[in-house]
Amino acid sequence: MRRWWRWTALAAAAGALATAAAVVAAARPADAAGKLVLRIGFPAALSGPYAAYDVPELNGMNFAVKQINARGGIGGVTVQVSAKDNKGQQALTATTTQELLDSGIKVFVLTTADPSIASGLIVVGKGGIASVGANTAPEIVQDVGAKSFMLVAGDNVQASVGAQYACSKGYRKAYVIGSPEIPYTKKIPIYFEDAFKHDCNGKVTSRDTYKIGSTDYSVQVTKVQHANPKPDFLYTSMFVPDTGVFLKQLRAAGVKLPYVTVDGNDSSLLASSGGNAVDGVVYTTHGFPKPGTPMGTFFAQYQQLMHKKPESNTIEAMGRDNVYALVTAASRAHSTDPDKVLAQVMKFKNFPLLTGALTMDPKTRVPVKPMTLIRMKGKNPTFLAEISPKYVAKP
């Protein structure tokens, strides 16, 4: 999930929310009744731009805490989450991570902010384990090391799903646009090209780059207009609000090529920034709250328990899934020892989560999961399909 770090209005609101409910006090490893209590640390950006992601994730985690503990735990294991605000800052991330470790916590969920790798390295260096939380870049798992793992689908998975969808539509020539500025926008086009070639011998016939945060895409639009050979569709790793701005200029220039993109556009900002130009856009994401589905049920339960609607389609669900997976692993291990919890996480196979059934690859520690395809109908996201990729580009 790309961190839409320019979403300042929501970030400010999220920061205010975090001030009211940032930290859930840590519990002892076992309560008075002798039940195991899994303590999860979350050194998170609860204020600042990245709060737009970490606060909804924390809300989803707190939802899971309330729901699990109200039911008496999972297999006798209850849970508490301790969150500390790192404001998305490198130095403060190190401090808050160490403070949570000093309190005895060894099981962590990492921030979506840029210092996530540094935080993870501190955790594993002290004998802890770390889920990378709502991050989707598989490189984070590799960089943090053997005691880190991902519970949501990685960028290599979503790019592979995008390629499989494109092949199913008969597309064989892709015009790809990415940015070298960050791993998300740089690596996804690489994963896509790998899978597109594998699935249907598809070819990237043209490629271009863009600058994140740009307001003028006239150069990119002109290149698309004059592309030779003419592409069947556009595939981009852009995220909001850039996608909306680009699409407005692209459609205004008369370019009507199909547009396939990524989960960084799973936001109301897509429609608010792009207006009618987003009609027909297809993007990959981690679920959709259709009535009668587990995600739909979660939305209803969340509103009941948290007294408000989720702020996103998927971030709260990611937070919820992290807690449920970790508590279930502790239950199966009959222990909150981090290494024993990790061993059980590595054994997950078709474990049901809101963001797709989890089968862990113990070699990469990145799961292969089905992903959801969304099509914009006018300004409204609509469910298109759920796809389990037949081939996954290697991270």
Looking at the domain assignment, is residue 356 inside a domain? no
Tell whether the model's pLDDT for residue 106 goes beyond 50.
yes
For residues 173 and 214, membership in a common domain is answered with yes
For residues 30 and 125, membership in a common domain is answered with yes
Residue 114 structure tokens: 């840029």
pTM to 2 decimal places: 0.82
pLDDT at position 102 is 98
For residues 111 and 246, membership in a common domain is answered with no
Burial of 361 (0-12, 13-18, 19+ CB in 10 A): middle
Residue type at 205 in one-letter notation:
T
Looking at the domain assignment, is residue 358 inside a domain? no
| Residue 149 neighbours by CB under 8 Å, 6+ apart | 129, 130, 131, 132, 141, 342, 345, 346, 360, 365, 366
For residues 84 and 59, membership in a common domain is answered with yes
For residues 190 and 311, membership in a common domain is answered with no
Q: Which pLDDT tens digit goes with each residue over 325-379?
A: 999 999 999 999 999 999 999 999 999 999 999 999 999 998 978 899 999 999 9
Looking at the domain assignment, is residue 167 inside a domain? yes
pLDDT category at 1 given cuts 50, 70, 90 is: low
Cα–Cα distance measured from residue 35 to residue 375, given in angstroms and rounded to the nearest whole number: 46
For residues 300 and 251, membership in a common domain is answered with no
Residue range of the domain that includes 252: 155-285+371-387
Cα–Cα distance measured from residue 42 to residue 283, given in angstroms and rounded to the nearest whole number: 29
Cα–Cα distance measured from residue 177 to residue 160, given in angstroms and rounded to the nearest whole number: 16
pLDDT at position 78 is 98
Which residue in the block uniquely carries the two structure tokens 């409204």? 380
Looking at the domain assignment, is residue 31 inside a domain? yes
For residues 281 and 212, membership in a common domain is answered with yes
Give the residue, 329 or 5, on which the prediction is more confident.
329
Strand partners, 382: 375
For residues 24 and 88, membership in a common domain is answered with yes
For residues 229 and 132, membership in a common domain is answered with no
Looking at the domain assignment, is residue 304 inside a domain? yes
pLDDT at position 251 is 98
For residues 245 and 380, membership in a common domain is answered with yes
Looking at the domain assignment, is residue 352 inside a domain? no
Q: Do residues 45 and 39 lie in contact, with contact meaning Cβ atoms separated by under 8 Å?
A: no
Residue 217 structure tokens: 């895409």
Residue 212 structure tokens: 């994140």
Cα–Cα distance measured from residue 40 to residue 323, given in angstroms and rounded to the nearest whole number: 8
pLDDT at position 21 is 39
Q: What's the number of domains the chain is made of? A: 2
Tell whether the model's pLDDT for residue 4 goes beyond 60.
no
For residues 340 and 377, membership in a common domain is answered with no
Q: Which pLDDT tens digit goes with each residue over 194-208?
A: 999 999 999 999 999
Q: What is the CATH number of the domain that holds 130?
A: 3.40.50.2300
Looking at the domain assignment, is residue 365 inside a domain? no
Q: Which pLDDT tens digit goes with each residue over 9-34?
A: 333 344 444 433 343 333 345 554 55
pLDDT at position 87 is 95
Q: DSSP state, 277? A: G
Looking at the domain assignment, is residue 2 inside a domain? no
Tell whether the model's pLDDT for residue 59 goes beyond 50.
yes
For residues 138 and 43, membership in a common domain is answered with yes
Strand partners, 376: 381
Mean pLDDT of the chain: 90
